């Protein structure tokens, strides 16, 4: 078992905290009955905000960052529901926010936080999908429950070059949807088309005063919020459905009731902190029909010491796809 090891720890610093790579021991990790040896930890925008001090995300200092991980159960204390040697997926339940998270070679959790790796899904692929892919799978499931089908028309994806956006483009395309990627990064057009986008357009530059605009989208997956979500709502087709889960473009939403009462637009909030048995069912779909294509084109794997620079780039908006921190390379 490990003695001292290095982890990315967010410590008290001003109002929002600040992360750094620090030495730790197992005794310092959060309490729990399952000890997991980390293989990969995905890096999310939320992690980057916490690690760079740009957002008040962490609720307990000090705390290991990282809201997700994939690893192998190394030790179990009196809980027969989890077997040692099982490869598991971890996300939600306050991981990396209220308790120590995935940016460490060791994570201690409670048994209810563990999702066994579905058959047919390799650890690297599961980590690449991560909480971002799980969020998109939940969003797509909700869109389908509300009547979205490929024949209904094009589906817009905002924040398309990010981790969640890239996975949304790929997963929707794999289901037969005509995907329009919304991104202001003109240089990313080739990348977005390579993972399944039929077209790439920039978001609107200005806010419109019109309550309704030309109907364009049968559905949309929005990772941005703010005025971009407002634009999506104004441009939905009759009975169009929007799944929203992000706020990169702002927390506020200014709209009117007209899209909802004249076109029957539905706006669905997506909370990806799911619970069993639904969480397991979503991961089963991610291992089968919702398994993203072109995963290799989306992934970048880094070492722990590279994480601070990755976070700075992510906050600056210069990253693309999914970034994973890999542990136990020896």
Per the structure block, which two tokens stand in for 172?
A: 């929707």
Q: In terms of C-beta density within 10 A (0-12 exposed, 13-18 middle, 19 or more buried), how is residue 113 classed?
A: buried
Asked whether residue 283 is assigned to any structural domain, the reply reads no
User: CA–CA distance from 36 to each of 6, 21, 104, 302 (Å)?
Assistant: 15, 20, 10, 20
Question: 213 and 188, same structural domain?
Answer: yes
**CATH code where residue 320 lies:** 3.90.180.10
pLDDT score, position 228: 95
> Looking at 227, 251, 269, which one is the last position of a domain?
269
DSSP of 127-165: HHHHHHHHHHHHHHHHHHHTT--GGG--EEEESTTSHHH
Asked whether residue 320 is assigned to any structural domain, the reply reads yes
Give CA–CA dist 196/177, Å, rounded.
Answer: 9
Question: 150 and 59, same structural domain?
Answer: no
In sequence order, the 6+-apart residues with CB closer than 8 A to the CB of 122 are none
Per the structure block, which two tokens stand in for 66?
A: 């990282």
Question: 248 and 145, same structural domain?
Answer: yes
pLDDT score, position 89: 98
Q: In this structure, are residues 246 and 268 in contact, taking their beta carbons and an 8 Å threshold? A: no
Question: 265 and 187, same structural domain?
Answer: yes
Asked whether residue 204 is assigned to any structural domain, the reply reads yes
**CATH code where residue 257 lies:** 3.40.50.720
Asked whether residue 276 is assigned to any structural domain, the reply reads no
Find the helix packing angle between 307-316 and 45-52, rounded to 10°.
110
Closest among 238, 241, 217, 287 to 140, alpha carbons compared? 241
Closest among 295, 44, 274, 315 to 169, alpha carbons compared? 295
Where are any strands of DSSP class E within the chain? 5-11, 18-24, 34-43, 63-64, 68-76, 87-91, 106-109, 115-116, 155-158, 179-182, 199-201, 217-222, 236-244, 266-269, 299-302, 322-326
Intervals of the chain under pLDDT 50: 330
Question: 232 and 194, same structural domain?
Answer: yes
Question: 84 and 57, same structural domain?
Answer: yes
Asked whether residue 284 is assigned to any structural domain, the reply reads no
In sequence order, the 6+-apart residues with CB closer than 8 A to the CB of 253 are 225, 226, 229, 230
Give CA–CA dist 258/262, Å, rounded.
Answer: 5
Q: In this structure, are residues 188 and 297 in contact, taking their beta carbons and an 8 Å threshold? A: no
Name residue, tokens 């817009």: 156
Q: In this structure, are residues 66 and 102 in contact, taking their beta carbons and an 8 Å threshold? A: yes
* Domains identified in the chain, total number: 2
pLDDT score, position 248: 80
Strand ranges across the sheet with 18-24: 18-24, 5-11, 63-64
Give CA–CA dist 267/249, Å, rounded.
Answer: 17
Name residue, tokens 């939320």: 46
pLDDT score, position 329: 57
Residues of the domain holding 165? 131-269
Question: 80 and 28, same structural domain?
Answer: yes
**What is the pTM assigned to this prediction?**
0.93
């Amino acid at each position: 078992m490990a003695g001292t090891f290095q982890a990315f720890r967010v410590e008290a610093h001003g109002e929002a905290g600040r992360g750094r790579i620090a030495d730790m021991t197992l005794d310092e990790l959060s309490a729990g009955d399952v000890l997991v040896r980390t293989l990969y930890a995905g890096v999310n925008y939320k992690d980057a905000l916490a690690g760079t001090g740009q957002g008040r995300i962490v609720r307990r200092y000090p705390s290991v960052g990282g809201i997700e991980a994939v690893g192998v159960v190394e030790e179990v204390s009196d809980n027969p529901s989890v077997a040692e040697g099982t490869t598991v997926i971890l996300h939600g339940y306050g991981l990396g926010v209220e308790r120590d998270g995935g940016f460490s070679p060791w994570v201690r959790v409670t048994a209810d936080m563990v999702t066994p790796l579905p058959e047919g899904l390799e650890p690297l692929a599961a980590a690449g999908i991560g909480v971002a892919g799980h969020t998109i799978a939940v969003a797509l499931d909700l869109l389908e429950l509300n009547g979205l089908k490929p024949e209904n028309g094009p589906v817009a994806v905002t924040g398309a070059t990010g981790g969640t956006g890239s996975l949304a483009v790929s997963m929707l395309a794999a289901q037969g949807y005509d995907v329009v990627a919304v991104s202001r990064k003109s240089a990313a057009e080739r990348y977005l088309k390579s993972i399944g986008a039929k077209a790439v357009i920039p978001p609107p530059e200005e806010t419109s005063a019109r309550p309704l605009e030309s109907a364009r989208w049968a559905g949309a997956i929005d990772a941005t919020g703010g005025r971009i979500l407002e634009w999506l709502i104004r441009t939905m087709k009759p009975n169009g459905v929007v799944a929203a889960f992000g706020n990169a473009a702002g927390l506020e939403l200014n709209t009117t009731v007209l899209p909802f009462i004249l076109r029957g637009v539905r706006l669905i909030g997506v909370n990806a902190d799911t619970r069993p048995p639904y969480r397991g069912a979503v991961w089963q779909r991610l291992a089968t029909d919702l398994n993203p294509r072109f995963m290799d084109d989306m992934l970048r794997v880094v070492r722990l010491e590279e994480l601070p620079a990755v976070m700075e780039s992510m906050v600056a908006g210069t990253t693309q796809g999914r970034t994973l921190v890999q542990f136990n390379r020896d």
